[in-house]
Amino acid sequence: MKQRAWKIPYEPPEVPTALVSAGYRPLLAAILASRGIEDVGEAEKFLHCGMEALHDPLQMRGMERAAERVRLAIRNREHVAVFGDYDVDGITSTCVLTDYLRSQGVECTPYIPDRINEGYGLNGDAVRALHEQGVKLIITVDCGITAIEEAKLALELGVDMVITDHHECSEQAVPDALAVVDPKQPECTYPNPGLAGVGVAFKLVCTLHGDVAAMLRQYGDLVAIGTVADVMPLTGENRFLVSYGLKLLNTKPRPGLRALLLECGALEKEITATTIGYVIAPRLNAAGRLGKTMVSAKLLMTRNPFEAERLALELCELNRERQALEQEIWDEASERAKGSAPGSPLVLSSDDWHQGVIGIAASRLSETFYMPTIMIRFYGDRGKGSCRSFGGFNLYNALAACSDLLEGFGGHALAAGLTIRRENIDRFRKALTDYYRENPVESLPDLQPDLRIADPRMLSLENVEALSALEPCGSGNPKPQLCMTGLHLVNLIPIGGGKHARLQIEHLGCRFDCIYFSCPVERLPVRRGDWIDLAFTPQINHFRGHDSVQLLVTDVRRSDMLPICRKVLSGELPSQWDAAVFCPRREDFVRVWRWLAAPVEFPAEELLRNVPAGMHPLQVCLCLMIMQEMRLASVLLDEDDTLRAMPVEGCAKVDLNQSVILRSLRTAQRRVRDALLKS
Assigned domain for 404 exists: yes
pLDDT digit string, tens, across residues 574-617:
887 788 778 898 999 999 999 998 888 888 888 877 888 778 88
Q: Are residues 97 and 113 in the same domain?
A: yes
Say what the pLDDT of residue 679 is: 44
Comparing CA positions, the residue from 104, 142, 143 lying closest to residue 122 is 143
The enclosing domain of 531 has a CATH number of 2.40.50.460
The verdict on 480 and 580 lying in the same domain is no
- Final residue in a domain of this structure, among 417, 438, 459: 438
The enclosing domain of 363 has a CATH number of 3.10.310.30
Sign of the alpha-carbon dihedral angle for 239, 241, 242, 243: positive
Between CA 193 and CA 60 the distance in angstroms is: 10
Task: Please give the pLDDT value at position 392.
Answer: 76
Q: Let me know whether 484 and 575 are in one domain.
A: no
The alpha carbon of 141 is separated from its chain's Cα centroid by a whole number of angstroms, namely 25
Residue 225 phi, psi dihedral angles, 5° rounding: -65, -45
Q: How confident is the model at residue 170 (pLDDT cuts 50, 70, 90)?
A: low
> Residue 524: is its pLDDT beyond 60?
yes
Question: Band of the pLDDT at 120, cuts 50, 70, 90?
Answer: confident
Partner residues linked to 180 by β-bridges: 163
Cβ-contact 159, 136 below 8 angstroms: yes
| Residue 324 included in any domain | no
CA 53 – CA 56 distance, rounded (Å) = 10
Same domain? For 551 and 573 the reply is no
More confident residue, 448 or 539: 539
Do residues 230 and 92 lie in contact, with contact meaning Cβ atoms separated by under 8 Å?
no
Question: Alpha carbon 451 to chain centroid distance?
Answer: 18
Same domain, 581 and 664: yes
Q: Flag whether 250 is in a domain.
A: no
Which CATH number is 200's domain given?
3.90.1640.30
Residues 429 and 550 in one domain: no
Same domain, 466 and 394: no
Do residues 561 and 604 touch, judged by C-beta distance below 8 A? Answer: no
CA distance 627 to 621: 10
Whether the predicted pLDDT of 444 surpasses 80: no
In a domain, 261, yes or no: no
Whether residue 480 is preceded by a cis peptide bond, meaning omega within 30 degrees of 0, is no
Q: Do 242 and 227 touch, CB atoms closer than 8 A?
A: yes
Residue 580's SS3 state is: helix
pLDDT of amino acid 543: 81
CB 162 within 8 A of CB 138: yes
CA distances from residue 47 to 55, 280, 309, 356, 497 in whole angstroms, order as listed? 18, 24, 36, 38, 39
Residue among 486, 510, 624 nearest 560 (CA): 486
Alpha helices in 339-382 (DSSP H): 358-369
Local confidence band at 353 (pLDDT 50, 70, 90 cut-offs)? very high
Residue 299: inside a domain:
no
Residues 63 and 31 in one domain: no
Tally of CA atoms within 13 A in the half-sphere of 2 that contains its CB = 17
Number of domains in the chain: 4
Cα–Cα distance between 272 and 468 in angstroms, integer? 10
Question: Do 482 and 524 have their domain in common?
Answer: yes
CA angle 282, 502, 559 (to 5 degrees): 115
- Write b or e for each residue in 481-504: b if 16 or more Cβ atoms lie within 10 A of its Cβ, otherwise e: bbbbbbbbbeebeeeeeeebbbbe
Check if the beta carbon of residue 189 is closer than 8 Å to that of residue 156.
no
Contact 634, 646 (CB under 8 A): yes
Which of 115-124, 214-223, 436-445, 655-664 holds the top average pLDDT? 214-223
Give the pLDDT of residue 176. 92
Report the C-alpha gap between 288 and 292 in whole angstroms.
5
Q: Is position 236 within any domain?
A: no
Instruction: Encode 505-556 in three state secondary structure.
Output: EEECCEEEEEEECCCCHHHCCCCCCCEEEEEEEEEEEEECCEEEEEEEEEEE
Lowest mean pLDDT segment, chosen from 105-119, 338-352, 401-415, 545-559: 401-415
E-strand stretches of 183-239 = none
pTM of the model: 0.85
State how beta strands 137-140 and 160-164 pair. Answer: parallel
537 found inside a domain: yes
Task: Look at residue 656 and tell me if it is in a domain.
Answer: yes
What proportion of the chain, given as a percentage, has pLDDT over 70? 96
pLDDT averaged over every residue in the chain: 90
Q: Does residue 179 carry a pLDDT above 90?
A: yes
Q: How sure is the predictor about 517, in pLDDT bands with cuts at 50, 70 and 90?
A: very high
Q: C-alpha distances in angstroms, 310 versus 87, 263, 280, 294, 618?
A: 21, 10, 16, 14, 62
Domain C-terminal end among 174, 193, 223: 223
pLDDT in tens, 243-290: 999 999 999 999 999 999 999 999 988 999 999 999 999 999 999 888
Q: Which of 574, 643, 581 is nearest to 611 (CA)?
A: 643
Does the pLDDT at position 240 exceed 80?
A: yes
Range with the poorest average pLDDT among 24-28, 501-505, 561-565? 561-565
Q: Is the dihedral of CA 39, 40, 41, 46 positive or negative?
A: positive
Q: Check whether residue 63 and residue 210 sit in a common domain.
A: yes
Contact yes or no for 228/274 (Cβ under 8 A) = no
**Which of 539, 558, 577 is the C-terminal boundary of a domain?**
558
The residue range of the domain holding 499 is 17-35+450-558
pLDDT score, position 675? 62
Residue 1 pLDDT > 60 = no
Judge if 566 and 553 occupy the same domain. Answer: no
> What is the band of 621 on the pLDDT scale with cuts at 50, 70, 90?
very high
Q: 570 and 476: one domain?
A: no
Per-residue pLDDT averaged across 61-73, rounded?
97
pLDDT of residue 7: 85
Percentage of residues in the chain having pLDDT higher than 90? 62
